[in-house]
Amino acid sequence: MSQDLSTEEIEDRLRVEFIDDARDRLDKLYRMVERVRGKEVRETEAIALIRTEAHNLKGAGTAFGYPTVSLVAHRMEDYFSGLARLEARSLDDAVVFLDRIAELVDRAEQPLLAETSQIIRALPVRYVFDIEDIEIHDVEIMLVTPSKVIAKKVATEMAACGFRPITVQDPIESIGIAVRVPPDMLIASMVMDGLSGIDLIRGLRAMSVTRNVPMALLTSLDKTDSRLKDVPRDVGIIGTGNSFSDDFATVITRFNLG
């Protein structure tokens, strides 16, 4: 008769299964990159696989006690979102992401917050413009919005100004990410399911690790609208309409980020 496993033994077994599964996924992606280099597979097929496996690793990392794996996978998924072609640089960057995840999976102890931040900020960034035409700022801006349309528009404009946009759709998920890797600035949509932008900002302001992060609210409301009366005075307001560029520039200047 088999002996019942303790909770600790079950957790250890699940972690081993996660490590084995992660290595299999990484091997599949490494092979896919080489097949793209050899023109043996369509780029669209490769991009779809990269995004799918990055998404799977993001969820599994959080579930099995590898939060930094989840963060790297999230950045990888974000990098390849909306990408139409896999050029040499994108393939090289894919290998960097895979190498970082492989290193983290094989570590006996996961990195602490300071090292986590260093790992994440050293990851590749994809710019949709020629970086020779814009001034690159070492400024990471987290955009929290459930709208893919708004995320694409705002992230594109931020990247055009030389900033590093990181998009998160779920406001609850954004809390864990912001705590582990505090951004240089956070912009949150006012209307979101589960947690409004104002509540998200208030919550992050209540935490010591994110208290001093510059924050702004993204809204379609007029700045005089009474519904904005609860926005903290030191929080910027950015309109989603024609005033976006001017509002964004005002907030960047106000917080001395560019």
The whole domain housing 99 covers: 7-121
Residue 38 has pLDDT above 90, yes or no: yes
Percent residues over pLDDT 90 in the chain = 76
CATH of the domain at 13: 1.20.120.160
Within a domain: residue 89? yes
Segment 44-51 mean pLDDT = 96
Burial pattern 143-175, b for ≥16 Cβ within 10 A else e, equals bbbeeeebbeebbeebbebbbbbbbbbebeebb
Sign for the pseudo-dihedral over CA of 175, 207, 202, 242: negative
The total domain count for the chain is 2
Nearest to 28 by CA among 104, 93, 94, 106: 94
Segment 177-187 mean pLDDT = 96
Residues with Cβ within 8 Å of 27's Cβ and at least 6 positions away in sequence, in order, are none
pLDDT tens figures, 201-252: 999 999 999 999 999 999 999 988 998 998 998 999 999 988 999 999 999 9
pLDDT tens figures, 51-91: 999 999 999 999 999 999 999 999 999 999 888 899 999 99
- Note whether 219 and 237 are within 8 A (CB): yes
Average pLDDT, the chain: 92
CATH of the domain at 218: 3.40.50.2300
Within a domain: residue 28? yes
pLDDT tens figures, 191-200: 999 899 999 9
